[in-house]
Amino acid sequence: MVDARFETEDRTAALIRAEQLDLKETQADVREAYQRGRKDERARRRRHPIGMTLLFVAAACGAALLGLAAINGSFSAGGSVADQSLQDAGKAAQARAASPSK
């Protein structure tokens, strides 16, 4: 019988029930192992909030410099625009600090 197929009616009800129980146990074991693995990985890769904040700020600065370079057509021109902006901000801060406050 080359074309014979395995019919589900041929299996006994006890065998089907045993397969369902085994499947549920296996799924529970896999779920438990997955949760245990997540917990272990989280404990192994603890992140420091200040470090993550500094990394985010550095990434934002890098993205801003790349944007300036794209707008100005070159990285040297983008860098000079950033330097000029920082220099203007520094002069404004010095002027505010030098002026007498009321």
% pLDDT > 90, the chain: 19
Instruction: Report the pLDDT value the prediction gives residue 18, as an integer from 0 to 100.
Output: 67
More confident residue, 1 or 60: 60
pTM exceeding 0.75: no
d(CA 96, CA 10): 90
Instruction: Give the whole-number percent of the chain exceeding pLDDT 70.
Output: 75
pLDDT tens by residue, 41-77: 888 877 788 989 999 999 999 999 888 888 877 777 7
Taking alpha carbons only, the member of 55, 75, 52 closest to residue 65 is 75
Q: Give the residue, 27 or 2, on which the prediction is more confident.
A: 27
